[in-house]
Structure 1
Amino acid sequence: MSERADTAEPRPDEEFDGNSVDQAESRHDEDDRLKPDFVSAVLDAVEDGDRERARDLVSPLHPADIADLLELTPSDRRGEVAAALGDLVGAEVLSELNDYVRDDLLDSLAPEQVAEFAAELDTDDAVAIIEDMEEADQQAVLEALDPEDRAAIESALAYPEESAGRLMQRDLVAVPEHMTVGQVIDYLRDNQDLTKDFWEIFVVDEAHKPIGTCQLSWLLTCPRPIAMADLMKREQTLIPVDMDQEEVALRFQKYALISAAVVDGNGRLVGMITVDDIVHIISEEAGEDILRLSGAGEGDINQPILMTVRTRLVWLIVNLGTAMIAASVVGLFESTIERLALLAALMGIVSGMGGNAGTQTLAVMVRAIATNQVTSSNTLRMIAREFRIAATNGTVLGTLIGIGSYLIYGQLGLSLVFAAAILINNMVAGLAGVLIPITLDRNNIDPAVSSAVFVTMMTDSLGFLTFLGLATIFLT
């Protein structure tokens, strides 16, 4: 067990002042989350007007933990808590905050204060802070920045949202190929304006186009007279400035990149993207696709309630429409259901099993499309694969359901119709789950957004049509 887990917990009647070693260790639980009693202690100190105590409690925390603290604070008290903590809520904390929580805090700050935070951050983090602000507030912040910082941020804001241009940072180290290892080391030591956070040097030609990269470890272990042209690695992955951030993440994952050069339309080096930014992108994109499949929008617990209601209600209304279509199919067989009432109890099983099978296939295909695993060369193979899986599953399920229904109801005809409907609807579900997202993707429509609605409509409507249609033909 970890040392943190072994640490004694504060007694319920013991004031959490953060001074003792035991209490300092118990700010986090075994999952590295802030404990409720610690959060309550900070909020109580702020409410009592004891800002010094609140700052003493919070000062040992990492900026990411301070961001967590603000997110755990009720929305109507965040401004008060941030004001009490003062400079502990700095630029790094803002960059770690949830978008909605950060927007709440920024609304309470003057443009000059936001500009101070933005100036302390890398370009990509500064852009993330101000890109969602109202245009008037955004302009006020930009005017409060130094001309150099303002130019860099304005340039980044000119690129499309969720593109490499928005994601990249402009602070990097680039040297010409004619320099030697010794000259580069001297350049790094003498130039105090260079970024301090880097582990790769980009080598450029006269037109400032990247022609190679050199890791710091290579630089530090080679003799000074070696030319950079002989030391650098010429093979590199270049990121176009307008590339979508999801595609950027896929390239980092595919080629195991730590950093990559970003180039403009002329091939000139304009920035770099580092793996720490990609970790956030991968997490965001993965969660986004899952939430879109369910129609839950962003799914952010800090999103305003009315915005959440509006997002979810749209898809619920769409689902209502598809449900009405399925209900109209059932209405076509009203006389059949009247003659054999047992069909009403069983037809929901047919549509439900088909819906589950379709959801499984859909989830696999949306992920495959998102990770570029589906290409024009293997599309037919993917369709055939999923159809075989659906047919196999349908055969097994149909057999089990047919046997089970016969044992329960003792009607051979009904059992055969039930089994056949399950088999057919599973095959329909498999085809719908693979064809619908591929078709949407081919037409530049995000398959994660609307595929589920169409798949559900197909499995419900065709499930009812198949089961009731077969029953009408063979049982009445």
Structure 2
Amino acid sequence: MSAEDRTETMDDAATSADAVPAVESLDEENTLTRDFVRRVSDLLDAGETDQVYDLVERLHPADVADLFELLGADERPMLAAAITDLMGSEVFAELNDHVRELLVESLPAGEVADIAEQLDTDDAVAMLEDLDHEDQQAVLAHLEPEDRAAIETALSYPEESAGRLMSRDFVAVPGHMTVGDLIDYLREDRDLANEFWEVFIVDARYHPIGTCALSWILRCPRGIALTDVMKRDQNLIPVDLDQEEVALRFQKYALISAAVVDPDGRLVGQITVDDVVHIIQEEAGEDVLLLSGAGDGDINEPIRESYASRVRWLIANLLTALVGATIISHFGGAIEKLVALAALSPMVASIGGNAGTQTMAVAVRALATNQLTRANTGRILWRELRVAMLNGVTVAALIGIATALFFANPLLGAVIATAVMVNIMTAGLAGVVVPVLFDRFDQDPAVASSVFVTMITDSMGFFAFLGLAVASGLV
């Protein structure tokens, strides 16, 4: 290249760099900066799609997915149109469910099919499962027959099951092979999965009989039979097993991957730890949000869906609050004689409610992680009652002394201390029993436990305090 040509090339590079002013894309926390997101937004509004492409091209696929989530809903289809050939499988695999659904609905069926063919089966299923039936069929019609059959089979399994989660890209070989045969097979067959950690050994009926880790295969002499080095003890995952149970198995047995089998015991897929990490995060967040009645709790969730998921629990809470209001109404005469009862009653109910929430959170988590089972329910209940007793004595003593001094009424202090003690003990009992009962009836204990525990602690708080006040002759 001549000096003149090099100068011209440098000028072109400088011109290209000047076309997109330098702007830091990531901050010290490795998240997209406000200035970068604003720059992309301004360029989209101005129709400068080439400059948008130049900016986004530099990003990692995970950061591109974050960019979609940070932009407004009306800007996301514009960004997708501007960076069409950057919208690969890596980006779609990282997208938030609600954002991905919006993008998929805005793209032609053929483009969605092209993306689905690049994805692993589990990621393709996640992309298509929330589409309307007509849109889903339109995309499936553009797929290759083999890919379509795999995705349709996965969609036939229950939601949040191992069948939806598993990948069909795995390596399975017959047991009569030697280590050398297997190594040659792995090197020569170009249609095998690109990423795997172990090889499944199957019998003539395609039932898994063992596994061989790649590290074993590489270190064993070529002439040794696979059946002599394979690990026979396996953690086989039923295809209809709930994904939360799948995650618990991976966590309990420190699995990297596991075989998925159909009802007949045939090998149909595998689940790897990278899929399970997402499930653990999703399920942990889901339980917290269910306890609060906040639905999915996703900031990208449509407003109407957020409203529908939250308002029903607020209405349920309103109805259960009527129980406490009814109890208060029966003690209206006592409250009129001693106004302090009206001021102190909410304190008793609030303390009990907080104590119940603490115990309930522990119980729900223990149920979710299989730490609380039928075998140890009695022991856990007794443990939480002892914790409640200690908490009750401490809090009751503090509030009793403070009330007696503030109102110059020792009897009032004794009444509120006793009521707090009773309510915290009730909270400890309800915080375990309510979630366990929901679990025994095959209902998610995180969904409605908080409403019922709050109703019990509020009602008992008002009843114990006001009832003791009347019974003690305080009013």
Q: Compute the TM-score of the two structures, normalised by the length of structure 2.
A: 0.94
State how far apart, in whole Å, the 2-side matches of 1:38 and 1:217 are. 44
Shift of 1:44: 2.4
Q: Name which of structure 1's ranges 354-363 and 94-103 shifts more when overlaid on structure 2.
A: 94-103
Counterpart in the other structure of 1:212: 210
State how far apart, in whole Å, the 1-side matches of 2:221 and 2:242 are. 40
State how far apart, in whole Å, the 2-side matches of 1:60 and 1:218 are. 39
Shift of 1:259: 0.3
Contact 1:238–1:263 (CA under 8 A) maintained in structure 2: yes
Counterpart in the other structure of 2:155: 157
User: Aligned-residue CA RMSD in angstroms?
Assistant: 1.3
Counterpart in the other structure of 2:81: 83
Counterpart in the other structure of 2:267: 269
**How many residues are paired up?**
458
Counterpart in the other structure of 1:59: 57
Shift of 1:199: 1.4
Contact 2:170–2:192 (CA under 8 A) maintained in structure 1: yes
Contact 2:44–2:75 (CA under 8 A) maintained in structure 1: no
Amino acid paired to 2:435: P
Shift of 1:235: 1.2
Per-residue CA distance 1:308-354 (angstroms, 9 max, x = gap): 11211111111111112111110000000011111000011100000
3-state SS of 1:115 partner:
helix
Amino acid paired to 1:181: V
Amino acid paired to 2:442: N
1:60-459 equivalent positions in 2, closer than 5 A: 60-459=58-457
3-state SS of 2:74 partner:
helix
Shift of 1:48: 2.8
Shift of 1:18: 6.6
Amino acid paired to 2:89: A
Per-residue CA distance 1:121-160 (angstroms, 9 max, x = gap): 1110000000110001111111111100011001111110
3-state SS of 1:40 partner:
helix
Per-residue CA distance 1:31-69 (angstroms, 9 max, x = gap): 211011111222223333332221121112111110000
3-state SS of 1:201 partner:
strand
State how far apart, in whole Å, the 1-side matches of 2:280 and 2:438 are. 22
Per-residue CA distance 1:355-394 (angstroms, 9 max, x = gap): 0000000000000000011111101001111111111110
Amino acid paired to 2:76: R
State how far apart, in whole Å, the 2-side matches of 1:222 and 1:41 are. 56
Shift of 1:19: 7.3
State how far apart, in whole Å, the 2-side matches of 1:76 and 1:345 are. 50
Structure 1 unaligned spans of 5+:
1-14
Contact 1:167–1:273 (CA under 8 A) maintained in structure 2: yes
Amino acid paired to 2:448: S
Counterpart in the other structure of 1:8: none
Q: 1:461 to 1:17 in 2, by over 3 A?
A: farther
3-state SS of 1:159 partner:
coil
Counterpart in the other structure of 2:12: none
Counterpart in the other structure of 1:11: none
Q: Name which of structure 1's ranges 340-349 and 84-93 shifts more when overlaid on structure 2.
A: 84-93
Contact 1:16–1:38 (CA under 8 A) maintained in structure 2: no
Q: Name which of structure 1's ranges 99-108 and 349-358 shifts more when overlaid on structure 2.
A: 99-108
Amino acid paired to 1:449: V
Shift of 1:266: 1.1
Amino acid paired to 1:151: A
Q: Compute the TM-score of the two structures, normalised by the length of structure 1.
A: 0.94
Counterpart in the other structure of 2:5: none
Structure 2 unaligned spans of 5+:
1-16
Q: 1:184 to 1:208 in 2, by over 3 A?
A: same
Amino acid paired to 2:421: L
Shift of 1:209: 0.8
State how far apart, in whole Å, the 2-side matches of 1:181 and 1:43 are. 56
